[in-house]
Structure 1
Amino acid sequence: MSLPGDKTEDQCLRCRRSGRQCIPAPTRPEEVTFRHGQNPSLRPSGPPRYGESDLVFPTDQVWVPLPTQVSFEDETDRTAADYRVVSLGGSPLDLKHAPENSPSTPNGALQPSSASRSLHSPNIRDPSRARPAPRLAFPHIPFPPTDFASTQKLRSFNEAFLLRHFRKTLGPWLDVCDNRSHFSANVAERAPSYPLLLYACLAISARHLYHTNNAVSPETADEYHERCIEILKSVIENRDFGIGIDILLTSTVILRFFEQISSHSPSNDRQNHLYAGSVFISSQLDCAVSGGLAEASFWVFVMQDIQLALMRQRPLRLTLGPFAKKLYQAWQHRTNQDDRDWTHRAVWLLAETINYCYGAKDLAHVDPVEGNSLRQRVSAWETMKPDTFRPLHYSMPDPGSGRPFPFIWFDNSLQAAAIQHISMAKALFQQHELQASKSMVQFREATRMLEDEIKYNLGLIFGIALSADNDPALRIMAGHTLCACGTWISDPLAQACLLDLLRRTEAENGWPWAFVVQKLIQDWQQISR
């Protein structure tokens, strides 16, 4: 056949070679294939893009009107009648009696049989018969089944609900100094595989929900807590229970969290899990710098120890000396320190300051801290901190508008918590110096300066907590600051704002502050007389 491209000869090259008569192909007008990429209505303005044709419709183009109603005809039956199944072996292919490795069975879904591969091949030819290629039917290949019922992590809806509450609400609370979200992400993911960790999460979630909206009975939290105690007893007795140190430390700090929100007064806080945590952590010094869940749990425990120390105005239970050497070496050799490292340093400086200020009057305290070097480290943190710790916004106090403390916003809770801890360290240091200089008459001017600095640093802590949008960790830090330094608040407006903050923290976040509220009211009434 002479193709349109063979214009110089009477016969095409193929016909000359085969000796066949060449029949000229019918001429067709030149056609332009329509593609959406050449639709003028879809073309962007300007010259054609690289590789794009410049085909446009003429200005006098006549367009076919679109009918208002369109009817559709179902041709499925007629189309299906044109198809027939051809057997390669002389018998029809019966899917009901397919072999086990047939793609119609789940086991063979990803491994098609040779027969099915032949049916799919476009190059099948039967040399014994000259007939056109048939239209073939394809066997049904199902997707692998999804069986969520047998693969779920927790079969109990109530337990799944409690663990979900931990991940969404309580985990971020514990992650206030950890921007890697170990508690809200890693703990919730691993808990279903470790009964001790799971029951600890369920216990704290049940207790928190009982305090905030009375959605769970108190007996539910107690039951999960008792299960944790039974497992911990086995761990202590056997010494080799198959529980990693990261799971053990994480479960312990969560159970300490459970103790904290379950104690409505300091006398009710039995501190059992705080004591257990100090024993576990003291036997694993590397957990402070090991990374992962163990290191995250270490820092949560340090903050929990700080909270009790401020509440009781005594040194920390944890012996800091062995950890300080490892931490300062790690910080010194870590060239690229992020906000998390700087926040941990602020927490550690507050822990050292507490031991320095409260350790002198505690005869049982054997973890001395040198005051001058500590002051230098606090000052160095303040002067060398990254620009990321600059506040997003700062407004001076405005008592006339009912705002006795500054309004402070930071980019995230990590930075806000760091400033709270370093401000508390400075306030305690200044308070300690003030007590030492009160007997010296010649230092009266310095005394007034120290008092102003103490009030300023305390105001930062309270301002951060009041400015935050319901951030439990920042609120609770303000509450423990009041336990240690509440007598410095003498302004009635400031007192009212802080009492309201404590009450809202108890109602909205489930932290029991009623005892502290009553004590502050009594102390402030005595001071005002």
Structure 2
Amino acid sequence: MSTWNEANQRNATGDGNKPQCHRCERSGSSCVWQAVPSGFRHGSSARYDADFADDQPWVPVGHAEFQYVDETADIARHYSVDLGSSPLASGRRRSVSFTDHRTLTDPSVLTLGQFDICDGERHFECTVPLRARSCPPLLYAIYTAAARHLSRIKKYYIGNQIQYGGKILPNLTPETALHYHNQCIAHFVSLSDHSREAQDENLLAAAVILRFYEEVDCSLRVQ
């Protein structure tokens, strides 16, 4: 009986008949076929510039309009957040810029880590800013406390404007914190009739941050 190498060599030049080539069949030898590795071809051989036949059937595609309805508060929470408008200043409405919003949500502004003094997983510093993107009350609570923090410390002022991280925040004023505080309270009031919402972790975090703001704001008013 031929060895595997001899049979394999014969198959390399055999007639391609399977499962046993005619040569091995006549000699009574074992016919062992070498496994051919699978190959992948990059790209496509299709002709994208080819013309379709005149009788080519086409599937009609109609124009459809869709309207998304938020069935529950849980679904609505996952949509993008309306950042809202800025406070009224000097008798007219001014919009808070994207730079202002991005600065107010920077964890270093509010030092959210101070809320994690008993939490080794640092939820306030690491998780709360991410959840605020899809939870308006939590977002407005952060805006409230951060705006109050920046507007009450003199080192952040250059003239009458607030600067943080090397950037001027022209539309950030002491009234900004009050504006976002009212926005946050309005969200709390709208959810007050929903018992399940009252147990939401995001709302609890927003309440903690808002309470911190109220303590700071109250102490400053007393002084």
TM-score (structure 2 length as normaliser): 0.47
Structure having the higher Rg? 1
More helix by share: 1
TM-score (structure 1 length as normaliser): 0.22
More strand by share: 2
- Larger relative contact order (C-alpha < 8 A, sep ≥ 6)? 2
